[in-house]
Structure 1
């Protein structure tokens, strides 16, 4: 009799354990379904261009399920949405967090590429561009950061599908940075600080020789050295100018 009672108890325990296991599995399945549904809804908003709503839904997903089945993709989507909405600080924070938590993730190259895009957009002044105003003298900090980001992408992931675009953007950024240096050089020229102007021109020639601004940088050097009475340095700069830009106005 006791044996039968023990056997029945054991069978009941196994049955309850099985129910508990099934219940846990069902709970996990339900959780996955809920997360999947929320993610699909966020994707629908993205496709329709409802960026603010998509950001809200993705942020909710990210906070509720930071380690859920779609966690990595949610973070990447948030980076993109922040970029499109010009949320510079939020985008950079999300990018740094993703790279820090996922240093070996297959999409780290995308995160680095987006970091460059975010910094480049932050530097870009749409109002001045649309108005046709040249503001080469404005702060170039974000342009330098964007250049560094794209350079890091090319160094770490030279075969990335984003590499070609990054290279093209670096060309534009180099020109932007060269213009900044030339604007400063012109400022010094106007104040007759010729040595400082010449140094700025030389910096452009040394670091941005493959940009159109190199020609004007050499011209600044020639004029500055002439004003300073440094004939040998003037002759050297003029020789480089003549060899590379024979049609420049300073060439006899």
Structure 2
């Protein structure tokens, strides 16, 4: 089955789930509500379980199942692909019951919800590079798992949280390297060197430390800071001899130095570039429209081009790009 079919099925399922509004019998007792919610959880009917657990908590706020319902509501939200609601429910439980015997579970689910927050529908079906996405949710998840492992080191959830923290730390380090490479592509070598040094200093024991050293070497070379470049290169060769930037022990930079940058590019470390001045009467938008039209015209099959030419000849004129874009309405 193709990816687009999977996406369509998933979107339809989510839409159907969100559109259904279940009503709960007003005459159900607390235990009956709780048992029905448990049945929904067992049957993976998480939307229905959320409805019943919320109803249970609102009708019986001081009942025997109230605290357990709050805990299971966190899980139901998480399984129903509502990470923000799961995090809010976990935060509420921690605030209301800081001494509860199972409060470590709330900390764990809070971190887990953040862990999966940026792995949404598209990320599950498409090969997206997670190191190039906004790391905000990854940072939140790392900090929340860190709270769990520091406050409850003997918790049954701590081993899993520690493993996830290793993954998140590697992910955050790789993101910093991605940003450093972007700065280098913009010839912002000071910013790139700072990012590389940040990885080396703060993400030890991650696979990205070698890449951070490589970024520092290349950035310092472009900045003609030869002593810093040499010391960074020696550290790279000593600790990461198999790094991709080294070939037969020699450093291979990602990009060659250019001296044709404008003064504005140099002053702003490459973050602002001067473009060539536009001809009189033209704008960037008009240039983009013309470029898009020319690219689309190049993709027209030859047999269709012949038909267009015959029509033009029959009309006795050559049509301009503006005529094509407006379907001849202004000819």
Q: TM-score range by the shorter chain?
A: 0.7 to 0.9
1:104 matched to 2:99? The reply is yes
- Is 1:149–2:144 an aligned residue pair? yes
Runs of 4+ in 1 over 3 A off after TM superposition: none
Give runs of aligned pairs for residues 113-192 of structure 1, distance below 5 A: 113-128=108-123, 130-192=125-187
Q: Please name the residue that 1:214 is paired with.
A: 209
Corresponding pairs, count: 220
SS at 2:235's partner residue? helix
Q: Tell me the equivalent position of 1:13.
A: none
Could you list the per-position Cα deviations for residues 93-149 of structure 1 after superposition, in whole angstroms to 9, with x for gaps in the alignment?
211111111011111111000010011111224524532232523211111000000
Give the alignment's TM-score, normalised by structure 2. Answer: 0.64
Structure 1 residue ranges without an equivalent (≥5): 1-32
Tell me the distance in 2 between the aligned counterparts of 1:75 and 1:99: 10
Q: Using the alignment, how far apart are the partners of 2:207 and 2:121 within structure 1?
A: 23
Q: What residue number does 1:227 align with?
A: 222
Structure number with the higher helix fraction is 1
**Aligned residue for 1:242?**
237
Cα distance change of structure 1 residues 51 and 68 upon mapping to structure 2, 3 Å threshold: same
1:55 lines up with 2:50 in the alignment: yes
Partner of 1:73: 68
1:22-101 maps to which residues of 2 (within 5 A)?
34-101=29-96
- CA offsets per residue over residues 61-95 of structure 1, 9 Å max, x none? 01111111011110000000101112122212211
- Larger RCO, structure (CA 8 Å, separation 6 or more): 1
Does the Cα contact within 8 Å between 2:130 and 2:171 map onto a contact in 1? no
What aligned pairs does 1:189-204 form with structure 2 within 5 A after superposition? 189-204=184-199
In the other structure, the counterpart of 2:272 is none
TM-score after normalising by structure 1? 0.83
Distance 1:204 1:126, change over 3 A: farther
Offset of 1:228 from its aligned partner? 0.7
Residues 171-207 of structure 1, C-alpha deviation per residue, up to 9 Å, x if partnerless?
A: 1111111121111101100011111001101111111
Q: Deviations over 1:150-188 (max 9, x none)?
A: 001011001110011001100111111112111110110
Partner of 1:11: none
